[in-house]
Chains A and B, each alone.
Chain A
């Protein structure tokens, strides 16, 4: 009977664990930006996320070939492009080769009367024809005259040239050896679009390795390839984070294993100590999955960090048990303390639960569920499985030495108080500059990679799509008509430099209505002949020589309208698909706006123009601004909720301790840690991001355990000296493990890991020192001194 009662917790634990695993197996894990998206996003915010996830921008990869001779680079570019064009993974591969260009020009020329915005009844009136032909003749006087003369008899009104001018507004990248090159000619450039969306990191990683493989087979010994683009960044960041975390984690694990083994002298205890963490992590994930229907990658990463607090339970329990019977009388006090520690952490993380951002709310639920599970495992499962007799190293002598250090810390209280006060003053003075609300704080992409990206983008003239006009419409025709309706207004803004320019899908594929209007504007062959005869009176050109023109116009009048399929194989197709995006229901119309050189876009002027043009449904989205403000709101809410969490901890202490003095003894180390770490960051010139905040939360959670254990020893006579010494050693051990684990992260070159490690490492150490100084009762000092 007693064995059944003893085994009951084990069975419950196993059952819950299996249940969690089943839930987790059916969980969908998401890695997109939606964690940062408020539960009720507005249209602009949705747009941002869609663009980041599926947008063309996220699918673009820029490839540069460096080194060797220019000729060899040009050849490599052509070979690489040819190889990549055969790969299913890439929707388009452009490297500026004349073949593509020729195909585009042919398309523009053959369809000029449907594509050109200048086609109108006026243009094909006698006067219009005269003016257009005069202009064409004038162009013949230029240096390109002998080149243009070939077009004269087929296109005397110069529609093809107007189109080319219109479509090639930006000038495009430099050409050399038949391919795109950088401005200094030292790089051959290719622009690729992946089939995989920007959120599909695995597929993007595969695409990158495909590029590398093909490059390896075409390259010469002295050539290198560089790559950039959002997709390349996400793959590189993931790889680096993976690599660095696994390196640093193995290093710190090794250290901690050696440390614990030297005390425990038992691999079994070591393994048992991990039970609460593993259980907590599994149950935490299962809880989030049940609560939210899915789990963000972000939650997994940060949440596991937060319940990392549970590692300490094993250390506390085993070391404090010492060579005693694990079911000694001290146990009750021990578990009371741990319970209070868990409650403290719940207060700290609980505030996150009410967040309007799913990412923060998930983090809250994960930490709370995980910690409770971890604590229960530590309380009811871990002791069941531990050996009846422990063969641990005697830690009491070490504890005695630590006690003398604690006593010294207690004497240093005034100094520490002054330090904390000074730092608090610093924080108050600098209160508006503590946090970095810029999303770039989260960017794991190293500076030099960002620079390379900017360089390649400028050289390619690739859009830095920051501003977009967006509208969701039921069908493509509505989108094209909307784009046509707004074109005059945008052109007017461009002319007066409120805009640097804009792209429009209707330039590449006019709406059916517009194409029909253009067809209707073209005169019949007989009428055209008459008008030409009249228009060319006195001109050096005779109407008889324009048979080809008359034939082309006649064919254009009755031909089938252009559709998206006609663009296949041209560069226009890619550009069109980027602006006319098919969605699950209907289409998104995207009109990228460019700012004038050295100026920002005048958002107010653009909005007014939209209203005036009767297109208020078009939404002006500033992608970077959206991202910034979204992250800013996210961070603000996290700070606010953390403050509430801190208030919750205070309330908990007031209720459970019922003594202002004791509450102060516990709160002072926690508040002091936060103040010192934040001030330290400021003095190092580092503004704090959401990662620092997560780090602070964890420091407080861990620190509260330290403070509570120190405080537990206060009730004189309850703890024996030996027990207190063992407690001290256990705290020091737990602390070293944390400080080493996170301290190593602080050496990472990935900024997000560095921020987390740089906060928790010092935070954990400071909270231990401050807990020792302030949470220790005077009694213990006197007891120790008399002992």
Chain B
């Protein structure tokens, strides 16, 4: 992997998309087993509700919309409320659509974010080695109710902690905490395959 530079901001948001691809059937949570299963999902759709807890604001900022994943590398997050917006990760390219404007940026130009995405890719690909080169990974619980905790090995990373919770083949919640203490919590409801 030659993409070593990272930036952060768009990626906390993409992260849940990648997790959406997970569909684990774990009874006894062995990381390797979970990863192998995660890599198998071909496509998935879900709705989400996201809350951003920002220190300067007295109450969280809430948004909701749809998520979609198509293997191998297309992820889409479409925010419907309170303001429409779409962000799509396709290969290394991120497309952001807001109102009439659309912006295409490359992952390589957002180095913080790139590590993020690469790590998650590694997760999806079941590449535990690559994942563990950037994150300390802890798995907890059972297949029926599992928790995955990621902590960056690099102390300067923009994100200080990621916590995912799932039930069987559903990722239910993704919580991303930033270094400054602000965090976002995304609650995901899987939609049936069409």
Interface residues of A (CB under 8 A from B): 71, 98, 137-147, 149, 152-153, 165, 171, 174-178, 540-542, 545
Contacts and interface: CB of A to CB of B under 8 A. Distances in A.
B61 interface: yes
Contacts of B87: 143
Given A171-B102, A175-B106, A540-B58, A143 B52 contact: no
Contacts, number: 87
Contact of A144 (B2, B10, B54, B102): B10
B108 A143 contact: no
B106 A142 contact: no
27 contacts: A137-B61, A140-B57, A140-B61, A141-B52, A141-B81, A141-B82, A143-B79, A143-B87, A146-B12, A146-B13, A146-B52, A146-B178, A146-B182, A149-B56, A152-B54, A165-B101, A171-B102, A171-B103, A171-B104, A174-B106, A175-B109, A176-B92, A176-B106, A176-B109, A177-B108, A541-B57, A542-B56
B9 interface: yes
A145 to B, nearest CB: 6
A98 B13 CA distance: 22
B184 interface: yes
A144 B52 contact: no
Given A71-B2, A146-B52, A541-B56, A139 B83 contact: yes
Interface residues of B, number: 37
Contacts of A98: 109
A152 B178 contact: no
A144 B99 CA distance: 14
A177 B57 CA distance: 36
Interface of B: 2, 5, 8-10, 12-13, 52, 54, 56-59, 61-63, 77, 79, 81-83, 85, 87, 92, 96, 98, 101-106, 108-109, 178, 182, 184
Contacts of B106: 174-177
Contacts of A153: 56
Contacts of B54: 140, 146, 149, 152
A98 B109 CA distance: 8
Contacts of A143: 10, 13, 77, 79, 85, 87, 96
Contacts of A178: 5, 108-109
A138 B12 CA distance: 18
Nearest to B79: A142
B85 A152 contact: no
Contact of B83 (A142, A165, A176, A545): A142
Contacts of B96: 143-144
B108 A540 contact: no
Nearest to A178: B109
Contacts of B81: 141
A569 B182 CA distance: 35
- 7 tightest A-B contacts by CB? A147-B9, A141-B63, A143-B13, A540-B58, A176-B106, A143-B87, A540-B57
Nearest to A153: B56
Nearest to B5: A178
A145 B108 CA distance: 21
B56 A146 contact: no
A21 to B, nearest CB: 62
Contacts of B105: 175
A551 to B, nearest CB: 16
Contact of B9 (A137, A146, A152, A176): A146
Contact of A142 (B2, B57, B98): B98
A77 B9 CA distance: 26
Most buried by B among A165, A174, A177: A177
Contacts of B98: 142
Given A143-B77, A178-B108, A152 B56 contact: yes
A501 to B, nearest CB: 12
Given A71-B2, A541-B57, A142 B63 contact: yes
Given A145-B63, A146-B178, A178-B109, 18 more contacts: A140-B57, A141-B52, A141-B63, A142-B83, A142-B85, A143-B13, A143-B85, A143-B87, A145-B184, A146-B52, A147-B9, A147-B10, A149-B54, A171-B102, A171-B104, A175-B105, A178-B108, A542-B56
A98 B12 CA distance: 21
Contacts of A140: 52, 54, 57, 61
A138 B83 contact: yes
Contacts of A149: 52, 54, 56, 182
A545 B79 contact: no
A146 B184 contact: yes
A435 B149 CA distance: 77
Contacts of B108: 176-178
Nearest to B101: A165
Given A146-B52, A171-B102, A541-B56, A141 B12 contact: no
Given A98-B109, A175-B109, A144 B62 contact: no
Most buried by B among A138, A143, A541: A143
